[in-house]
């Protein structure tokens, strides 16, 4: 749930899996060691992202090593899909990095395979603090009593809009607006300016989760799916009709310009995505882009929560105390926030949030948006993600895309999705 650095999300989600047997990991005997001699130790930190993120993290590492001269940090990064492929290979070979960048869709998957370090003992020993986190984020990676990660930033779903188009149409999205009002606005934009109202949101799992939550359900439960064919069929049937009517952008043209954004290219006036992804539109496009509130069913409950990138430790690490010290530094040190900015989302701790006050318009908009939804009281606990959630998200995106392109009917698409979801859940 972080900036995708221009990578096509469909491409991002083609992840390689691995079996628990291939890892050969057990809970006993993993991650119990320390530096032993008390001398300098080296830990490895890996993450996904582009060169800009790598430069910033390296600056943070240099600062950390100055303040902790007995801990050296080797760094490594790849693009999103390559990161997980390499990590899976390293973990299967018994040599994973000591600290990895992580996301909620992978927590239960890797917890079930005994890949992730439980950081709770390090909190108890005073090597890691959970004080000062915003909006309860310290519980974000608390799975079945184990602390499997610590947030470094937060984000939430938002509607990114082309402000020039919305202003010309006389549409001002406000907190409490409904889906009917949103749709009426898209019709007005299409009819008046010959621009699609939205890129096409029906493949965005996290948006559909909010829609389900607004109606008393959720995409996932702790054990599996929180909805069925009866909910998804009308949603995808309606989406296909909107594609055909021009309310949603032409999917063939959207595919042709990837990884560029259809919103930034002027092919649509809005797109639902994570708020901190919005920085890319200003970099890619020529218009002005803003963050609009999530519409709701009743004008009140949006179903929103804060998502987060996090840092997790490896259960194989020989240096759990040093891992915890590094994670604590990256989440609490004010200078880290001044270096990273909003690259990984809005800083998760109050100390870092207050240390970095953005000066550029896109980041200011993100700060204002997250402050507004917090003050509005719409934030709820995040939906649990079972093992296999990453595979299910990829299937949801891919099948919705094929539906848009006319490769399958809504009914067949729904059946295919639940078939693949069942397989994903059963293989974990």
Confidence of residue 30 (pLDDT cuts 50, 70, 90): very low
pLDDT at 213 over 60: yes
Is the confidence at residue 10, as pLDDT, over 60? no
- At residue 37, does pLDDT exceed 80? no
Express the helix, strand and coil content of the chain in percent, nearest 5 each. Answer: 45, 15, 40
Q: How confident is the model at residue 50 (pLDDT cuts 50, 70, 90)?
A: confident
pLDDT at 238: 98
Q: Which residue has the higher pLDDT, 44 or 428?
A: 44
**Hey, what CATH class is 9-153+307-356 in?**
alpha beta
At residue 209 the predicted structure's pLDDT band, cuts being 50, 70 and 90, is: very high
In this predicted structure, which of 26-35, 161-170, 183-192 has the lowest mean pLDDT?
26-35
pLDDT over threshold 80, residue 136 = no
> CB neighbours of 191 closer than 8 A, spacing ≥ 6?
none
CB 138 within 8 A of CB 118: no
Q: What is the arithmetic mean of pLDDT over 190-196?
A: 97
Contacts of 282 (CB under 8 A, 6+ apart): 289, 361, 362
> Which tokens hold the place of 157?
């779903």
DSSP state for residue 146 in the 8-state scheme: E
pLDDT at position 119, please? 98
Mean pLDDT of the 337-355 span:
93
Confidence label for 175 from pLDDT (cuts 50, 70 and 90): very high
Phi-psi region at 29: left, alpha or beta (left = phi > 0; alpha = psi -120 to 50):
left
Q: Can you give the pLDDT at residue 126?
A: 97
Residue 178: pLDDT over 90:
yes
Top-level class of domain 157-304+384-426? alpha beta
Q: What is the pLDDT of residue 383?
A: 78
pLDDT at 9 over 80: no
- The pLDDT-based confidence of 38 (bands split at 50, 70, 90) is low
User: pLDDT exceeding 70 applies to what percent of the chain?
Assistant: 91
Reported as a single tens digit per residue, the pLDDT across 222-273 is 779 999 999 999 999 999 999 999 999 999 999 999 888 899 999 999 999 9
Domain positions in the chain = 9-153+307-356, 157-304+384-426
How far is Cα 387 from Cα 20, in angstroms, rounded to an integer? Answer: 12
What integer best gives the mean pLDDT of the chain? 89
Q: Residue 22: pLDDT above 70?
A: no
Residue 428 pLDDT grade (very low, low, confident, very high; cuts 50, 70, 90): low
Query: Residue 334 and residue 325: Cα distance in Å, rounded?
Result: 15
Q: Are 131 and 142 in contact (CB under 8 A)?
A: no
Please work out, in degrees rounded to the nearest 5, the angle formed at the alpha carbon of residue 257 by the alpha carbons of 344 and 56: 20
Question: Whole-angstrom Cα distance, residue 262 to residue 254?
Answer: 6
Higher local confidence (pLDDT), 74 or 39? 74
The CA distance from 286 to 102, in Å, is 33
* Of 239-253, 344-358, 372-386, 406-420, minimum mean pLDDT range: 372-386
């Amino acid at each position: 749930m972080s900036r995708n650095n221009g990578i096509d999300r469909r491409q991002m989600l083609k992840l390689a899996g691995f079996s628990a047997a291939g890892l050969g990991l057990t809970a006993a005997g993993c991650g119990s060691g320390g530096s032993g001699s008390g001398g300098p130790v080296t830990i490895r930190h890996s993450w996904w992202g582009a060169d800009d993120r790598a430069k910033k993290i390296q600056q943070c590492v240099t600062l950390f090593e100055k303040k902790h001269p007995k801990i050296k940090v080797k760094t490594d990064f790849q693009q999103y899909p390559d990161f997980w492929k390499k990590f899976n290979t390293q973990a299967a070979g018994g040599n994973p990095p000591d600290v990895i960048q992580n996301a909620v869709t992978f927590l239960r998957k890797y917890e079930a395979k005994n890949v992730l370090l439980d950081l709770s003992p390090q909190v108890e020993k005073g090597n890691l603090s959970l004080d000062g986190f915003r909006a309860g984020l310290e519980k974000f990676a608390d799975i079945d009593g184990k602390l499997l990660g610590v947030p470094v930033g937060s984000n939430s779903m938002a509607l990114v809009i082309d402000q020039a188009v919305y202003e010309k149409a006389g549409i001002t999205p406000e907190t409490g607006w409904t889906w009917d009002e949103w749709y009426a606005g898209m019709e007005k934009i299409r009819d008046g300016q010959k621009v699609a109202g939205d890129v096409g949101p029906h493949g965005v799992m996290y948006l559909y989760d909010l829609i389900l939550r607004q109606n008393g359900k959720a995409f996932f439960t702790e054990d599996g799916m929180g909805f069925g064919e009866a909910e998804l069929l009308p949603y995808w049937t309606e989406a296909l009709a909107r594609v055909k009517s021009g309310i949603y952008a032409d999917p063939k043209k959207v595919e042709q310009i990837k990884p560029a954004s259809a919103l930034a290219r002027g092919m649509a006036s809005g797109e639902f995505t994570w708020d901190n992804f919005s920085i890319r539109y200003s970099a890619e496009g020529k218009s002005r882009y803003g963050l609009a509130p999530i519409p709701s069913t009743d004008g009140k409950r949006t179903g929103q929560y804060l998502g987060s990138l996090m840092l997790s430790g490896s259960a194989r690490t020989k240096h759990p105390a040093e891992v915890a010290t590094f994670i604590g530094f990256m989440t609490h040190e004010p200078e880290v926030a001044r270096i990273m900015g909003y690259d990984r989302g809005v800083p998760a701790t109050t100390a870092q949030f207050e240390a970095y006050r953005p000066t550029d318009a896109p980041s200011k908009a993100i700060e204002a948006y997250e402050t507004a939804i917090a003050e509005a009281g719409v934030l709820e606990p995040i939906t649990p993600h079972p093992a296999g959630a990453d595979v299910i998200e990829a299937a949801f995106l891919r099948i919705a895309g094929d539906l848009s392109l006319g490769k399958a009917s809504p009914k067949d698409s729904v059946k295919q999705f639940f078939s693949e979801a069942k397989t994903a859940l059963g293989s974990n």
